[in-house]
């Protein structure tokens, strides 16, 4: 199967993935049941790549949520510092305010970077899913060819066994009929008592 797998060349267009609304294979129950535990190295590699991207997307979402929460707290701190400087003349807070504003700028840059990453990730995940689909199709057809050949062999062997079985049944019937006719002749010729005596002596 491995040799055939390497010879197969499967090229699935990206549009087909979108048109057929193919779900993430790693989250598809049917795919998992059929190919989830396969030892095929290409499927294992493509599956691992897809899992890594999905995990990275979740981690990026988590980071974005955390930094947005941090920014919200920092904004509240800036408002408090500004109020103290403007209304209570706490000039010592000016340096803290400036640092906080710089931190907000840094957070904004990080948020922009994370947002950009998240915008790019869906396509990367779809492309990785497509690659996994291609290796899955290669593996599927490779296995189909192997199983069809095996099934053909099994059918041939079953056909031969059926022929043998028919022959055995015919021979069984012939033997039973022959035995019955012989016993009938002996019974008629010798009688039941003598026949039982001979059966005990000869067939014991």
pTM score, two decimals?
Answer: 0.70
- Is the distance from CB of 111 to CB of 67 less than 8 angstroms? yes
Which residue did the predictor score with more confidence, 2 or 146? 146
> Dihedral through CA 167, CA 173, CA 179, CA 180, nearest 10?
-170
Angle at 67 between CA 93 and CA 123, to 5 degrees: 150
Task: Examine the pLDDT at 15 and tell me if it is beyond 90.
Answer: no
Residue of 194 and 17 predicted with greater confidence: 194
State how far the Cα of 56 lies from the Cα of 25, in Å rounded to an integer: 17
Each residue's pLDDT tens digit, 119-176 = 999 999 989 998 999 899 888 988 999 999 999 999 999 999 999 999 999 999 999 9
60-74, 111-125, 148-162, 182-196, range with the lowest pLDDT: 182-196
CA distances from 3 to 19, 40, 108, 142, 146 (A): 32, 12, 53, 9, 11
- Residue 17 pLDDT level (bands cut at 50, 70, 90): low
Taking residues 183-200, report their average pLDDT.
78
CA–CA gap between residue 107 and residue 70 (Å, rounded): 8
- Average pLDDT value over all residues in the chain: 87
Summarize pLDDT for 70-111 with one digit per residue, the tens.
999 999 999 988 888 878 777 777 888 899 999 999 999 999
Give the SS3 label for residue 172: helix
Lookup: tokens for 167: 């022959």
8, 141 in Cβ contact below 8 A? yes
- CA 199, CA 145: separation in Å to the nearest integer? 59
């Amino acid at each position: 199967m491995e040799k055939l797998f390497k010879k197969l060349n499967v090229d699935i267009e990206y549009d087909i993935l979108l048109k057929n609304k193919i779900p993430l294979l790693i989250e598809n129950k049917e795919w998992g049941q059929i190919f989830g535990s396969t030892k095929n190295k290409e499927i294992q590699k493509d599956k691992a790549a897809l899992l890594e991207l999905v995990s990275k997307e979740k981690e990026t979402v988590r980071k974005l949520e955390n930094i947005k929460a941090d920014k919200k707290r920092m904004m509240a701190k800036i408002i408090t510092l500004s109020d103290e400087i403007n209304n209570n003349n706490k000039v010592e807070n000016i340096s803290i305010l400036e640092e906080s504003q710089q931190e907000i700028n840094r957070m904004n840059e990080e948020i922009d970077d994370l947002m950009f990453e998240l915008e790019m990730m869906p396509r990367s995940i779809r492309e990785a899913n497509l690659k996994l689909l291609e290796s899955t199709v290669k593996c599927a057809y490779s296995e189909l060819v192997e199983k069809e050949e095996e099934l053909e062999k099994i059918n041939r062997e079953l056909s031969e066994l059926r022929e043998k079985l028919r022959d055995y049944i015919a021979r069984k019937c012939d033997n039973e009929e022959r035995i019955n006719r012989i016993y009938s002749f002996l019974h008629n010729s010798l009688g039941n008592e003598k026949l039982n005596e001979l059966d005990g002596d000869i067939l014991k």
